[in-house]
Amino acid sequence: MDSQSQAIESAKKYLAAATSVAATAMLARTIISAYFPDELRRLISSSLDKLIGHFYGEHVVVIRQNEGLLTNDLYDAATTYLRTKISPTSKRLRANKNRHRTNIIISLDDGECLTDIFEGVQYKWQLVIHRERSNSLYAGSSPVEEARWLALSFHRKYREVAVASYFPHILERSKEIKAADRQLKLYMNELGNWNCVHLQHPATSETLAMEVELKKTIFDDLARFVNRKEYYKRIGKAWKRGYLLFGPPGTGKSSLIAAMANYLRFDIYDLDLNGINGNTDLKRLLFGMANKSMLVIEDIDCSINVQNRDDEGSETETEPGGKAVTLSGILNLIDGLWSANGEERIIVLTTNYRDRLDPALLRPGRMDMHIHMGYCGPNGFRKLVSNYHAIDEHPLFEEIEGLLKEVEATPAEVAEELIRSDGAGIALGSLILFLRDKRKVGGEEVKGRGEESHDGIQNGLECEKIDREEKKVGSEITGGRKRKSRK
């Protein structure tokens, strides 16, 4: 019997015993590797899955690596997608080797292949890596040639379903997975251009010390925003959303921005208005931003005269040869024609003094949500202790919570005391001394409304009304005494 007839005989034997496309393909490939000459082997091997699939009444799609843009995209997307489906411990690698070649089959699951169920349809995947000695005569070329493909099999009757919904699902999910894996960047403007570094701020919604409800409202709002592409298109509005974060220094405005960027996986463009030479530069920087990004202008009240549009003429001279950015420039950036240039943008302005800003800047559509970052109350304190010392209860909590209701301490100040020692008791003791000192320095003036100072989420339209209510509540709590002004 010649070698080819031997192979066919063996194949028949294995085919009879095999129970699935994947198992059969793997066994058959082993036989082919052993008995067929090089050229024939390469040809047969990658068509094998299709042939065997047909035999089993299944449709098999072979998705090859490095073969045309479209299939390569799909190969890339599918390997990314499948990565999330494989448990690292179940990954199995088997290799058939002889003197000249290695034929490696990676089964992506415990068994021979990975099974993925999507919309009730079962899809079976198998990755095949085929290596053999290269016949290339070019100097420097690799001595081994490698071909990779994914064999996807599913019941024939789901062919259209796979094309219409499974493949788009894979492409979409792989984009999301890649976005989540991507290292975020922090862009800063310098001499009219964006320079970037890696954004490595570890803040997340989990680490933020804020009222739970407020935090939930913010992150739910972000989640809703990114899923509303079609909605914004339908209502004819640029796909962007503005957040104003206001409150004293050290209350977590920058931390919240970082947590928002980490949650959305958006790069941050930190715009320093003082480093810009007029509105033309501003426009150029805006047009240089990518989509899916956050534009941040910190301490906007300090960067520009943004109190009253009537004050501004044309661009004002700031220094010899330099022009200042005007309020109209900023309004255009946030909400005007310029802003329609990109999509899926978040704009965040921060200020310590909201009432110094021109109302035009604050109105809904420009700043859709006003978020008050307040002093540390009992809940914020508990969050910080749990972050810094991993404890939920301690005998010193009661005194600290009492003190926090009496004095204005920022989360930054509380965090600073908590980080002083690895021992929770020592750190809490140090916090008590700090708060008692603060109370002494504050004299008879009663400050802060404890936890209430955190519940500051406001819709732009309602901000005036809420301002009035805040004053009322403040005076009720302090028995008519005004809160200490931080301005």
Ligand X SMILES: Nc1ncnc2c1ncn2[C@@H]1O[C@H](COP(=O)(O)OP(=O)(O)OP(=O)(O)O)[C@@H](O)[C@H]1O
Binding interface with ligand X (CB under 6 A): 207-210, 249-255, 373, 411-412, 415
C-alpha span between 157 and 148 (Å, rounded): 27
In the bound complex, what is the minimum distance in angstroms from residue 125's beta carbon to ligand X? 43
In the bound complex, what is the minimum distance in angstroms from residue 229's beta carbon to ligand X? 30
Nearer to ligand X, 28 or 346 (CB): 346
What are the distances in angstroms from CA 160 to CA 47, 71, 119, 154?
Answer: 21, 17, 13, 11
Q: Calculate ∠ Cα 222-225-226, nearest 5°.
A: 90
Nearer to ligand X, 63 or 349 (CB): 349
The two structure tokens encoding residue 94:
């088997």
Q: Are 405 and 378 in contact (CB under 8 A)?
A: yes
Residue 276 is classified by DSSP as -
In the bound complex, what is the minimum distance in angstroms from residue 329's beta carbon to ligand X? 23
DSSP of 236-263, one letter per residue?
A: T--SEEEEEEE-STTSSHHHHHHHHHHH
In the bound complex, what is the minimum distance in angstroms from residue 392's beta carbon to ligand X? 17
Q: Are 456 and 214 in contact (CB under 8 A)?
A: yes
C-alpha span between 318 and 266 (Å, rounded): 33
Q: Are 331 and 361 in contact (CB under 8 A)?
A: yes
Query: What are the residues facing 246 on neighbouring strands?
Result: 351, 372
- At 403, the amino acid letter reads L
In the bound complex, what is the minimum distance in angstroms from residue 261's beta carbon to ligand X? 13
In the bound complex, what is the minimum distance in angstroms from residue 458's beta carbon to ligand X? 17
Which residues contact residue 310 at a Cβ distance below 8 angstroms, ignoring those fewer than 6 apart? none
In the bound complex, what is the minimum distance in angstroms from residue 367's beta carbon to ligand X? 17
Nearer to ligand X, 179 or 302 (CB): 302
Closest CA to 440 of 407, 400, 414: 407
Nearer to ligand X, 106 or 412 (CB): 412
Q: Computed over its alpha carbons, how large is the radius of gyration of the chain? A: 31
The two structure tokens encoding residue 403:
């003190």
Nearer to ligand X, 238 or 256 (CB): 256
Sign of CA dihedral 389, 394, 399, 404: positive
Beta strand 317-319 with 293-297 is: unpaired
In the bound complex, what is the minimum distance in angstroms from residue 418's beta carbon to ligand X? 10
In the bound complex, what is the minimum distance in angstroms from residue 257's beta carbon to ligand X? 8
Q: Give the residue at shortest CB distance from ligand X.
A: 252
Closest CA to 357 of 241, 281, 460, 283: 460
Nearer to ligand X, 165 or 205 (CB): 205
Nearer to ligand X, 208 or 244 (CB): 208
Task: Indicate the burial class of 135 (C-beta count within 10 angstroms; 0-12, 13-18, 19 or more).
Answer: exposed
The two structure tokens encoding residue 234:
């339908």
Which residues contact residue 225 at a Cβ distance below 8 angstroms, ignoring those fewer than 6 apart? 241, 346
Nearer to ligand X, 35 or 246 (CB): 246
In the bound complex, what is the minimum distance in angstroms from residue 382's beta carbon to ligand X? 12
In the bound complex, what is the minimum distance in angstroms from residue 253's beta carbon to ligand X? 4
Which residues contact residue 242 at a Cβ distance below 8 angstroms, ignoring those fewer than 6 apart? 334, 335, 346, 347, 348, 349, 365, 366, 367, 368, 369
In the bound complex, what is the minimum distance in angstroms from residue 383's beta carbon to ligand X? 7
Nearer to ligand X, 86 or 412 (CB): 412
